[in-house]
Amino acid sequence: MLTDLSTKEIWFITGSQHLYGPETLAQVAEHSQKIVEAFGQSSLIPVKIVWKPTVKTTDEIYETLMAANHAPDCIGIITWMHTFSPAKMWIRGLSALQKPMLHLHTQFNQDIPWSTMDMDFMNLNQAAHGDREFGFMVSRLRKNRKVVVGHWAEERVQKQIGEWTRVAAGWDDWQGAKFARFGDNMRYVAVTDGDKVEAETKFGFSVNTWGIGDLVSVVNSIGEGEVKTLIEEYEASYNMAASLLAGGANRKSLETAARIELGLEKFLVDGNFKGFSDTFEDLHGIEQLPGIAVQRLMAKGYGFAGEGDWKTAALVRAMKIMGQGLEGGNAFMEDYTYHLNPSNPSILGSHMLEVDPVLAVNKPSCEIHPLGIGGKADPVRLVFNSRGNIDSLVAALMDFGNHFRLLINKTKALDITEEMPNLPVARVLWKPLPDLYTAAEAWILAGGAHHTCYSENLSVEQLEDFAGIAGIESLVIDEDTKIRDFKNTINWNEIYYR
Ligand code: MN
């Protein structure tokens, strides 16, 4: 249910002007085609890079950028000024551009050819000043863009471009996306709520509510055969608790759980939804809180967050798109409880049921246990530990009334070495950077949510770029965070985003 990134296009647009004559312009075209070819062969760039003819006039620029706006598979553009492209020519096009932009500040040749260099060479290889002229205009127009600097054949440069194309894909996925809410937010909870009209205006996705009864009727329409087939899949994929096996005391509950999963998935597929949220306070007609159902749908690529938290559901979805095909996963998470021992302060992340098995280090076990809240039948869930010893991060999206804030904390995933025989949910253990005390203080000062998306394969830079495309604030807590500076940043941003 995740879109195939290789079907998405980034248009490579080279700027120039007629002043240089046809011979130089032919070389410009040839060089830009070589760069696009190299990007096409790079395993670091997951999308198609599509070469476009050199733009040399105000009209050519406008027409190319408008075409990018309208091309459904085009998720962004890369611009490069091999020669000089007087930037007033870009005003009309850039003002109309609606897709994310990466400005590649590169040069066709890596080294200066000291002994052979003449004025023809100087005429052609002008990015050092041509890209500055272009950069001025983008800044003058107050347009967001990513700037990547370095020789195009370098792995570092291709990696940075590739990571940005993932960000553009996440943004593209949000445009027109639909998220379903079953029920409202958990009663009285603040941080998970927000302005859905403003979110749709800013982010491009819509959030609407469906009565739980609409879902119940789909769940009840699922046939025995489908339930049987899905249970076979469970049995092949997980270590099953004895009571859930055929003839076991809780076999009926497993059938109910499977029917809920099939019904939920059918509802989401039929409605073309990319994610959803539910709330345990409004599940009339659903026999047990969806546990394994939600877990498996998240692993398939649906965005989800509990208790009506539609912002986190949408964030999880976008981050899943960005991380697609990489090692590790992106998953709905909640800071659950602390280990405050000064020798190794750390955070145990979990949820009451809905932890995404993309994080599982081992084969999950499929279990059934009572749930203290919700007043429903015992829910079936997958229990597992997460991977340790990797660089990870958590990100949260909050609505501050006058603006949205994306808060990012770098984390280090820890191996879970202790047994937790009485804890019947999946768990994740990490140490936030720079340390738990500073990170949690900064997180609280920034009004960070308890719900996050936990990522094993995205970078802080990617999420900052994502916030940049959305035009919202991003705040980072990492190894360099100092509380005094962090407070100042919050205060200054408060003015900037007013
Ligand atoms: Mn929660």
Quote the CA–CA distance of 32 and 283 in Å, as a whole number.
57
- Nearest to residue 189, comparing CAs of 274, 281, 276? 281
Q: What's residue 3's pLDDT? A: 84
- How many angstroms does the Cα of residue 132 sit away from the middle of ligand 1? 47
Kindly calculate the radius of gyration of the chain based on its CA atoms and give it in whole angstroms: 25
| Residue set of the binding site for Mn(2+) | 307, 334, 351, 451
Q: What's residue 209's pLDDT? A: 96
Would you say residue 257 has pLDDT above 90?
A: yes
Would you say residue 2 has pLDDT above 90?
A: no
Cα 308 to Cα 104, 194, 197, 282, distances in angstroms: 40, 11, 16, 10
- Nearest to residue 170, comparing CAs of 460, 475, 474, 462? 462
| Residue set of the binding site | 307, 334, 351, 451
- How many angstroms does the Cα of residue 300 sit away from the middle of ligand 1? 20
- How many angstroms does the Cα of residue 451 sit away from the middle of ligand 1? 6
CA 370 to chain centre: 33
Quote the CA–CA distance of 91 and 472 in Å, as a whole number.
23
Predicted confidence (pLDDT) per residue in 72-119, tens digit = 999 999 999 999 999 999 999 999 999 999 999 999 999 999 999 999
H-assigned helices in 204-245: 212-220, 224-237
116 φ/ψ sector (left φ>0, alpha ψ -120 to 50, else beta): alpha
- How many angstroms does the Cα of residue 111 sit away from the middle of ligand 1? 55
Would you say residue 175 has pLDDT above 90?
A: yes
Amino acid letter, 154? E
- How many angstroms does the Cα of residue 308 sit away from the middle of ligand 1? 9
- Nearest to residue 451, comparing CAs of 365, 349, 367, 372? 349
Q: What's residue 73's pLDDT? A: 97
| Average pLDDT estimate for 262-277 | 98
- How many angstroms does the Cα of residue 307 sit away from the middle of ligand 1? 6
3-state secondary structure of 262: helix
Q: What's residue 372's pLDDT? A: 76
Per the structure block, which two tokens stand in for 68?
């990018």
3-state secondary structure of 331: strand
- How many angstroms does the Cα of residue 33 sit away from the middle of ligand 1? 50
Quote the CA–CA distance of 290 and 280 in Å, as a whole number.
9
Could you state, in order of their start, the residue ranges of all structural domains in the chain? 5-174, 178-497
Contact at 8 Å (CB) between 218 and 266? yes
Residues in a beta bridge with 94:
none
| Average pLDDT estimate for 390-408 | 98
Q: Which helix (DSSP H) or strand (DSSP E) does residue 12 occupy? A: strand 9-15
- How many angstroms does the Cα of residue 83 sit away from the middle of ligand 1? 54
Predicted confidence (pLDDT) per residue in 370-394, tens digit = 987 777 899 999 999 999 999 999 9
Quote the CA–CA distance of 451 and 257 in Å, as a whole number.
24
Residue 498: pLDDT band with limits 50, 70, 90? confident
Own/partner pairs, 3-6, CB within 8 angstroms, 24+ separation: 3/169, 3/173, 3/321, 5/46, 5/47, 5/165, 5/166, 5/169, 5/321, 5/324, 5/325, 6/46, 6/47, 6/48
Predicted confidence (pLDDT) per residue in 50-76, tens digit = 999 999 999 999 999 999 999 999 999
Integer distance in angstroms from the first to the last C-alpha of the chain? 38
Q: What CATH number belongs to 5-174?
A: 3.40.50.10940
- How many angstroms does the Cα of residue 172 sit away from the middle of ligand 1? 27
Quote the CA–CA distance of 158 and 41 in Å, as a whole number.
11
Predicted confidence (pLDDT) per residue in 322-364, tens digit = 999 999 999 999 999 999 999 999 999 999 999 999 999 999 9
Contacts of 435 (CB under 8 A, 6+ apart): 345
- How many angstroms does the Cα of residue 192 sit away from the middle of ligand 1? 9
3-state secondary structure of 257: helix
Predicted confidence (pLDDT) per residue in 408-454, tens digit = 999 999 999 999 999 999 999 999 999 999 999 999 999 999 999 99
Cα 316 to Cα 19, 63, 444, 455, distances in angstroms: 49, 35, 21, 9
- How many angstroms does the Cα of residue 73 sit away from the middle of ligand 1? 35
- How many angstroms does the Cα of residue 199 sit away from the middle of ligand 1? 21
Amino acid letter, 149? V
3-state secondary structure of 276: strand
